[in-house]
Structure 1
Amino acid sequence: MKQNKILFPIFLMVVIPTLLTTFISFFRFSTTLDRKLSDALFHFLPSHHTFSKDIVIIDIDEQSIAKYADHPELGQWPWKRHIYPTLIGYTKLLTPPKFTIIDIMFTERSDYDDALVVANETLGEISHAANFRNGGIVIPRKSIDTISQKFSVPLTTSIPFPKYENASFPIGQIAETAPNVHVVNVISDSDGILRRFSPFVRWNGMYFPTLATQAFALGETYKIETKDLNVYLEKEGTKRIIPIGKDGLVRAYFYTEEELRNIPRYSAAGIIESLEKLNTGEVEDPNTLLVPPKLFENKIVLIGTSAAATHDDVVTPHGLFPGVIAQAVFASNLTEGHLLKELPVTYGFVFTILVLFVGVLVLFINQWHILKNIYPIFAISLFIGLFYFLYRMDYVLSTNSFVFGFPVSYLLGFAYLTYTEGKEKRKFNHILRNLVDPEVVSVALENMESLKQGGEWEITAFFSDVAGFSSISEELSATDLAKLLNEYLSAMTNVLKTNSGTLDKYIGDAIVGIFGAPIQNKEHPKLACKTALEMLKELEGLRKEWNERGDYTPLARAMVFRIGLNCGLAKVGFMGTDSLASYTMMGDTVNLAARLEAAAKDYGVSILVSENIELACRDTFSFRFLDWIRVKGKEAPVKIYSLESFKNEISPVSVKAFEEYEFGFSEYSKRNWETAIEHFKNVSKILGKDDVSSHLLIKRCQTLFQNPPPVDWDGVYTRTSK
């Protein structure tokens, strides 16, 4: 395709979608949409990480509150604080857990704070929850500075971790004796879905670890380094690289919905009931308890709530879940290294632009129509494949540029292609409708590129001409001549089209036709023969009508024509200018057909064909051998035949006459002139009429008898005229 013809498709399919997606990216909702789309793909694609086996949850669930509805300490929320040391202590009856993380706030004073203070001092490996917020009034506490200094981490970085104005630490001595503190704040995206978390948050110029970071640290000392937007945590040889986003959050891997629902959660009510049975001696073997203590051995234990009264639910990519489930996911991500890195938007942008450029090539350069139809499937599959490949490596490819850009690009491209091809189809349709049967036109237009390019293949060339038309035209007025031609050409062209022939052109009264193009058809020689015979009948019918009506002159009413047929390789296709083109044929095959039409006059036959036609159609049609000739412009001799009729319509008399003719020609080839003449004379006697072909050969024998040919004479007659 010329350069100027490809520039506009590039503008449509690359520039416009790129500008559109760039414009969309300026709006904040594009990032949210991007994450929604990636969520959908995460649901669709196979999971490649599993939830940590080291994390379990003690859940103050609906059952825990309902079972003890009449209990003075457990019948209402919040529970009395001396219950929590009981839960923590139960997990340490056998081999203690690695670490206990409390996801419940103790920021208000109560009468049971001492129980938690004792637990802090005696049970150890506990982390209490702190809550940061923006706005509101900070209640001054003497210990706030001491507490914040105690639990902050030494960190100097330019990473924009979430920043808060106010902080709520555990109250009084609970904070003072707490071994560790973590921040439980979570930040949902603008669509309300919780997908990301931060390992640290800021307050008052200091940095504090979140629950996930404490789950990784297990209350032990750990090293923190930052570089660019990466956080490096290291503890006892275990190293985690946290890829932080521009807003200080990291994308969490949310596993599958089934895994989230199957996270080991043990009801607080079950633990309390198990402890009561153990204390009363009802059960002696701890392993037979409803919640055996061994379930917490070497585990990271999260104590949280899922009961409706606690109002601690969040919306995750899998729907509504208790907040402690989301915290458990974040903890699993960090402890196991299941963290997702959101790649820059430019990665998705570059991929999309490459796909769009390939789309231009497929639609406007590629010649395979099936590829134009399957390319969208291929492109989408390629995108999903690349997305999944990166996802397996914990990278998230930006999706919105492809999801927006590719459909817009391909729709614009297809629309333009439909318009341009439709324009071309209309042009070629207009041309072909006058040349070919409408059913053939519809098939030919299915492959426009092939139609426009043409090619070289086997066809049958058809030439017909009215005998003595110059004399006829001299006798008729211009009006009658036009009427006669219209009647004749319309009738003959209709026969041509009906037999899947293509009208090449009219040359005055002559008709030039093609069989086997633009739609290739192996039966083209037989179709051409059938057409020639049907034209003879059609002309006979026209002559009868003209005589009945008394139209035209006697010479016109006695009109006859000659037809020349030849099959073989020829170049076919549209030739001409963009505004004026015709479907035509060229080559030696075509030239020979034209010469045969002219030679038919010499032999007094209506349809003269080449040996190629006779060989291809001898099983269906009856042919009469006439001669070996050498036409003007060709050295190779050609064996020629007269097409007489369908094979089942030939009369025994004709068969006998044709055989006699061949006997005569055999003698002629042997230079037995007198014997040949006798056979040729017999042909007219058998037929009961003068046979022009026989008379032609008789005259030739007589001439050769008087002027013998040279020794190397091959019996081939050379025509000196076209």
Structure 2
Amino acid sequence: MKQKKFFVPFFLMVIVPAIIIGLLSLFGFSQTLNRKLSDSLFHLLPSHHSLSKDIVIIDIDEQSIAKYADHPELGQWPWKRTVYPTLIGYTKLITAPKVTIIDIMFTERSDYDEALVAANLSLGEISHAANFRDGGIVVPRKGQEDLGQKFNVPLPEEIPFPRYENASFPIGEVGETAPMIHVVNVIPDSDGILRRFTPFIRWKNRNFPTLALQAFVAGKPYETEWKEGRLWIQKEKTKREVPLGKDGLVRAYFYTEDELRNIPRYSAAGIIESLNQLNSSEVEDPEKLLVPPSVFENKIVLIGTSAASTHDDVVTPHGLFPGVIGQAVFASNLLEGHMLRELPEIVGMGFTFLILVIGVFVLFINQWHLLKNIYPIFAISMFVGLFYFLYRLDLVLASSSFVIAFPISYLLGFAYLTYTEGKEKRKFNSILRNLVDPGVVSEALEDMDSLKKGGEWEITAFFSDVAGFSSISEELSASDLARLLNEYLSAMTKILKSNSGTLDKYIGDAIVGIFGAPIQNKEHPRLACKTALEMVTELEVLRSNWKEKMDYTETARNMTFRIGLNCGPAKVGFMGTDSLASYTMMGDTVNLSARLEAAAKDYGVSILVSESIESLCNGEFHFRFLDWIRVKGKEAPVKIYSLVSLVSDLSPQVLEAERMYDEGFQFYLNREWEKAIVSFEKVSKIYGYDDKSSKLLISRCQSLFKNPPAVDWDGVFTRTSK
């Protein structure tokens, strides 16, 4: 049964979410979602890498194009190619940069190609852009095969680099004289966002370096190593592992948006203006130029565009940026080793599965309610903490399984828990609403586990019984007897509930009640006494109504009852089966209360209580001492009292009668039987009616006078009946 009960929440909280994330993975949605979620987390978490300080950009920006739109040598975009040797030459005025990488393609013939050819031959470390593509008509171009052969990098065929059908190399002599070339292709993910790059791209089974790789090697010789599915690139003393994915791409670390916007970028217009100032001797000190040549010293210089008219924009995790910025990020990743390794999706799924299984135990095994509420916070903290820990190690945890599965799991779990607890609450509510006041029911149901488990604590046990009910039942028809009982029990139960009492059960005409459970209440003895006195008053009202209507029989109209009260520790809780249970009490405290109710008949009182009740309530209620008795089944003697009234309702006559009774009882304990009898007789005279308690003690004194007790007699009367 327990296994069956555990299977449903396990199925809802683990199996169902597992099926959902399995389907998302099967249809390829999870990969894109993983990357989108990781982008969001990267934005929230602190950055731990900074963009390389070796990269600077010469930017053909809006200002450059606007300023020189009417210039005879430059003109409108695209600029004449004579400007590029000027820009490259300016970077080498003092100390040459490590390499100059052009992010602008020269794949079409121009009348000014000779300027680029001359720059290639005289200015040294320059890398020109090539572009690869798929589709379209393949038109062989002169010298293309030679360039492919010249710049090919031999690599194992098994490396899964991206592959293209067509290639556009720098045109003619520009390509033939180029010291280096690089492929400028960027490959966005399926959602259009550029997150990944590759060090090499394939065309016709040949491998060509990308801009990022050329920035890393900076024109120096390098070696590659492919071993056990891992790629290393070594330049001089620097060996860099590139954590390629299955598609030959590597996840880029995109730094922060502020860093991207603050990459050193020098306007092409500023460089041209600086060169003009230098040539005209307007500024003699190069460091005071608008763009000092020293800013390019020993740097990796990228020449690119950011003007809108050049249409070279890419969508990054930080939004829309010029393509050259994306290339700068990739270059920095290789230079500094900031590439991210995307962990297999199964790792994220495994972590999620563990969290879901723990969630089942938290919701359905754990008894600490606070943990059920804070576990989502704990689980999310665990996920974010693990993600950040791995992120600091440049590892990316697949997030979609947790982000999708955990909310679904916990919502399903809570829904099922609410349903099952609601079902139990409805069952217990159905029971409790007949036992206690509705206000107490809602409070009791707040802690279902404690309610079901019960416990042992101090309560007041209440027993009442109608005197001579057998005679009444014999005189009445079945319908009248039922009507009488309903009228009597309804009135008495209403009083019981209104004083926070719990109805344990009806036993024919008898009422069994509990004060101080299921909701613990320190006032339970006082409330029980108040209930007993109110019941006595209510019975007088009922009798008056019956007499006025001449209802039932004479015996019924003069009905009386007896009540027994005792407080102390008792076991309380629901007892029975799942389908039929009642809230009840057990223990010596309960048994004594029942014995007191029976003993009340002997003393002719309506309410008989134990010493424990009297000692706790004598400030508000008045009690009359009656006797020391030893009830059946118990060796310890019990001091018993009659609950008379509220202290405020006490009369001098009652006090005088009780004083005389106490005097008589002291004579009784001293074995002065004759004096005790005299005192007990005076009690009835003071009351003005026969006091049954006094008559009982008189009868006992007369018996003891004739048959004196043993020497060790302690004055305690032992009851032989229940």
Letter of the structure 2 residue corresponding to residue 207 of structure 1:
N
Alignment of 1:276-315 (within 5 A): 276-315=276-315
What per-residue deviation string (whole Å, max 9, x for no partner) do you get for residues 333-372 of structure 1? 1111111111111111111111111111122112222222
Name the SS for the 2:23 alignment partner.
Answer: helix
Shift of 1:138: 3.7
The structural deviation recorded for 1:677 is 2.8
Contact 1:159 1:228 in 2 (8 A): no
SS in 2 for 1:463: strand
Q: What do residues 442-500 of structure 1 show as CA deviations (whole Å, max 9, x unaligned)?
A: 11112222211111111111100001111111111111111100000000000011111
Q: How many Å separate the matches in 1 of 2:555 and 2:565?
A: 26
CA distance in 1 between counterparts of 2:93 and 2:659 reads 120
CA–CA separation in structure 1 for the residues paired with 2:682 and 2:292:
123
Letter in 1 for 2:186: V
Tell me the equivalent position of 1:563: 563
Matches of 1:595 and 1:211, distance apart in 2: 99
User: Which residue number corresponds to residue 232 of structure 2?
Assistant: 232
Q: Distance in 2 between matches of 1:683 and 1:91?
A: 126
Q: What are the superposed Cα offsets for residues 75-125 of structure 1, whole Å, 9 maximum, x if unpaired?
A: 311111121111111112223222211111111121222222222222212
Greater displacement, 165-174 / 679-688: 679-688
Instruction: Give the counterpart letter for 1:248 in structure 2.
Output: G
- Whether the 8 Å contact between 2:157 and 2:205 is mirrored in structure 1 is no
The corresponding residue for 2:500 is 500
Aligned to 2:380: 380
Residue 96 of structure 1 aligns to a residue whose secondary structure is coil
Please say which of residues 591-600 and 117-126 is displaced more in the overlay: 117-126
Contact 1:157 1:226 in 2 (8 A): no
Please tell me the residue identity of whatever aligns with 2:223: K
Q: Is the deviation greater in 110-119 or in 185-194?
A: 110-119
1:520 aligns with 2:525: no
> Post-superposition shift, 1:665?
2.3
Superposed, 1:651-690 pairs within 5 Å as 651-690=651-690
Q: Which residue of 2 aligns with 1:252?
A: 252
Instruction: Provide the C-alpha distance between the structure 2 equivalents of 1:119 and 1:684, rounded to a whole number of angstroms.
Output: 135
State the partner residue of 2:612.
Answer: 612
Mark the CA change 1:670 to 1:227 in structure 2 (over 3 Å): closer, same or farther. farther
1:127-526 pair list within 5 angstroms: 127-526=127-526
Q: Find the residue that maps to 1:10 and give its secondary structure.
A: helix
Match of 2:577 in 1: 577
Q: Distance in 2 between matches of 1:675 and 1:224?
A: 122
Cα distance, 1:680 vs structure 2: 2.5
Q: Offset at 1:142?
A: 4.2
Deviation of the 1:149 alpha carbon: 2.2
Residues 388-424 of structure 1: per-residue CA shift (max 9 Å, x gap): 1111111111111112211222222222222222221
Gap regions ≥5 residues in structure 2 = none
Does structure 1 retain, via aligned residues, the 8 Å contact 2:459–2:517?
Answer: yes
1:244: how far off?
0.9
Q: For 1:362 and 1:216, how far apart are their aligned partners in 2?
A: 51
Q: Report the AA paired with residue 561 of structure 2.
A: F
Instruction: Show CA shifts across 1:184-203 (max 9, x none).
Output: 10111111111111111111
Superposed displacement of residue 157, structure 1:
4.6
TM-score (structure 2 length as normaliser): 0.98
* Secondary structure of the corresponding residue to residue 340 of structure 2: strand
Distance 1:541 1:697 in 2: 32
Q: Distance in 1 between the 2:466 and 2:187 partners?
A: 92
1:172 and 1:452, CA in 2 relative to 1: closer, same or farther beyond 3 A?
same
Rounded Cα–Cα distance in structure 2 between residues aligned with 1:73 and 1:644: 120
Distance 2:157 2:679 in 1: 117
State the distance in 1 between where 2:660 and 2:66 align.
118
For 2:666 and 2:77, the matched residues in 1 are separated by 123
Q: What's the CA shift for 1:145?
A: 2.7
Hey, what does 2:603 align to over in structure 1? 603
CA distance 1:312–1:687, change in 2 (3 Å): same
Over the residues paired in the alignment, what is the CA RMSD in angstroms?
Answer: 1.5
Matched pairs, number: 722
Moved more, 671-680 or 418-427: 671-680
**Superposition deviation, residue 72 in structure 1:** 2.1
Other structure's SS at 1:74 match: coil
Q: 1:172 to 1:656 in 2, by over 3 A?
A: same
Partners of 2:72 and 2:675 lie apart in 1 by 140
Q: Give the distance between the partners of 1:222 and 1:504, measured in 2 at CA.
A: 90
Q: Which structure 1 segments of 5+ residues have no match? A: none
The alpha-carbon deviation at position 146 of structure 1 amounts to: 2.6
- Residue aligned with 1:93, SS: coil
More deviation in 180-189 or 365-374?
365-374
Code of the aligned partner of 1:99: V
Aligned equivalents of 1:170, 1:506: Cα separation in 2: 102
Correspondence for 1:101: 101
Aligned letter for 1:457? Answer: W
Match of 2:6 in 1: 6
Find the residue that maps to 1:339 and give its secondary structure: coil
Q: How does 1:580-595 map to 2 (within 5 A)?
A: 580-595=580-595
Query: Secondary structure of 1:354's match?
Result: helix
Other structure's SS at 1:327 match: helix
Amino acid at match of 1:697: L
Question: Which residue of structure 1 lines up, in the alignment, with residue 553 of structure 2?
Answer: 553
**1:699 maps to 2:702:** no
- In structure 2, the residue matched to 1:62 is 62
Q: What do the CA deviations read for 1:203-256 (whole angstroms, capped 9, x no partner)?
A: 111111111111111111112112344211122221211111111111111111
User: 5 Å matches for 1:10-21?
Assistant: 10-21=10-21
8 Å CA contact 1:126–1:180 kept in 2: the answer is yes
Q: Distance in 1 between matches of 2:604 and 2:2?
A: 53
* Contact 2:664 2:676 survives alignment (8 Å): yes
SS of 1:109's partner is coil
Aligned counterparts of 2:519 and 2:704: Cα–Cα separation in 1 = 48
2:117 is equivalent to residue 117 of structure 1? yes
Q: 1:672 Cα shift? A: 3.0
Looking at structure 2, the residues matched to 229 and 409 of structure 1 have their Cα atoms a distance apart, in angstroms, of 37
CA distance in 1: counterparts of 2:677 and 2:286, whole angstroms: 129
The Cα shift of 1:513 comes to 0.6
Give the whole-Å Cα distance in 2 for the aligned partners of 1:220 and 1:480: 113
Asked whether the 8 Å contact 2:221–2:236 carries over to 1, the reply is: no
Code of the residue aligned with 1:452 in structure 2: it is K
In 2, Cα distance between equivalents of 1:609 and 1:407: 58
Q: Output the CA distance in 1 between the equivalents of 2:535 and 2:111.
A: 116
Paired residues of 1:620 and 1:646 also in contact (CA < 8 A): yes
Q: What amino acid maps onto 2:131 in structure 1? A: N
Q: Distance in 1 between matches of 2:660 and 2:283?
A: 124
Native 8 Å contact 2:266 2:291 kept in 1: yes
Retained in 2: the 8 A contact 1:229–1:243?
no
Q: Alignment partner of 1:623: what SS?
A: strand
1:500-552, Cα deviation, whole Å (9 max, x unpaired): 11111100000001111111111111111111111111111111111111101
Report the alpha carbon displacement of residue 321 of structure 1 after superposing the two structures with TM.
Answer: 0.7
- 1:150: Cα distance to partner? 2.1
| Alignment partners' CA distance in 2, 1:383 and 1:462 | 56
CA positional deviation for 1:131: 0.7
Q: Which residue identity is paired with 1:533?
A: L
Deviation at 1:177, TM superposition (A): 2.0
Structure 1 CA distance for aligned equivalents of residues 254 and 235 of structure 2: 24
Distance in 1, matches of 2:157 and 2:707, equals 117
Task: Tell me, yes or no, if the aligned pair for 2:631 and 2:719 is still in contact at 8 Å.
Answer: yes
